Structure 1
Amino acid sequence: MTDRFILVEVSSFRQEIKKSRFLALAAPIVDENEARGFLAQHSEPAANHNCWAWRLGQSYRFNDDGEPSGTAGKPILQAIDGQALDNVVILVIRWFGGVLLGSGGLIRAYGGTAAACLREAEKRPLVHLTNISIMCTFSDAALLRARIEALDGVAVGGQEFLPDGVVHHVRLPAEMEPKVREVAADVTSGRAQIVSGV
């Protein structure tokens, strides 16, 4: 069971706080380059501030873009973490309305706008995938592949033919590995050789 979530698609949220307009845009990402590309594409040069944060597993970055240190990027990152999200980037754009918000007000405005955007976004559980290789005899290969691919979320990414059998390269959700091992042992009467993490 996962305890982390990812966004399904780009989400946005707008609000006005003491005459300043805030627009949050959140998107799923797979790597830092995708995060940077999203920020470059959606930042608004005419706005006063384009503050952002992203998280990819243990890696994260945030930027206050001219707001006082710790009042924008960090609250946006806290909104990501507060909703147990991963592989996500959020950009919060501010058009200054003439009324100073103070440090506490900025923290609430940026963090609150980001959090509201994420609350409205469609999410799905983050599934950690892993790879295993299963070697079996030629006579077991077809049935083994059919039984493995019938399992939810499991896919045979390729096969390798050796002089004495076939190696199935399998990509699967990590929590499905015990079930795949059980099926492989059942189909091959325990003859299959399984290597994890390849």
Structure 2
Amino acid sequence: MRILDNIIRDRGSKYAVSGGPCATEAEAKAFVKALCRDKTFARATHNSWAVLTAGGALKHDDGEAGAGLVILRMLERAALHDHIIVVTRWFGGKHLGGDRFRHVQEAVRIYLEAR
């Protein structure tokens, strides 16, 4: 599991991105569960994720509507299969509107470049 913490800050919200090998929905859920064993991530407002597997595309927004799809599209563009990416957001009290999608994209981009 690779975690890049505190990579983006905007109006009080903070973002982190993490990822690792993952080939099934069960592995994806186990990955997020393992991530949330860290109390910091367990207290996050959103842990949105996506993964491309041999069985198809999987995503979960975790309340951040549309975030899973943004992650999934970036995985497709990068042709990265069997690797989960989780974008974590701690809400800072001010709504970000459409900027939240830009931040999700940037978090995934940072992860892919660091990989």
Aligned to 2:110: 116
Runs of 4+ in 1 over 3 A off after TM superposition: none
SS in 2 for 1:108: helix
Q: Distance in 2 between matches of 1:11 and 1:17?
A: 23
Using a 3 Å threshold, how does the CA distance of structure 1 residues 33 and 58 change in structure 2: closer, same or farther? Answer: closer
Aligned to 1:22: 15
TM-score (norm 1): 0.51
| Identity within the alignment, % | 31
State the 1:58 CA deviation.
Answer: 5.2
Matches of residues 170-181 of structure 1 in structure 2 within 5 Å? Answer: none
Contact 1:53 1:91 in 2 (8 A): yes
Question: 2:94 pairs with 94, 99, 115, which one?
Answer: 99
Question: 1:87 pairs with 65, 82, 87, which one?
Answer: 82
Using a 3 Å threshold, how does the CA distance of structure 1 residues 17 and 79 change in structure 2: closer, same or farther? Answer: farther
Q: Distance in 1 between matches of 2:94 and 2:62?
A: 18
Aligned to 2:72: 77
SS in 2 for 1:81: helix
Q: Distance in 2 between matches of 1:62 and 1:53?
A: 4
SS in 2 for 1:36: helix
Question: 2:3 pairs with 4, 8, 12, which one?
Answer: 12
Question: 2:30 pairs with 18, 34, 37, which one?
Answer: 37
The size of the alignment, in residue pairs, is: 109
Unpaired segments ≥5 residues, structure 1? 1-9, 122-198
State the 1:116 CA deviation.
Answer: 1.2
SS in 2 for 1:110: helix
Contact 2:14 2:91 in 1 (8 A): yes
Q: Distance in 2 between matches of 1:30 and 1:48?
A: 26
Contact 1:76 1:115 in 2 (8 A): no
Contact 2:74 2:108 in 1 (8 A): yes
Aligned to 1:60: 57
Q: Which structure: greater helix fraction?
A: 2
TM-score (norm 2): 0.83
Q: Distance in 2 between matches of 1:42 and 1:92?
A: 11
SS in 2 for 1:62: strand
Q: Distance in 2 between matches of 1:41 and 1:11?
A: 12
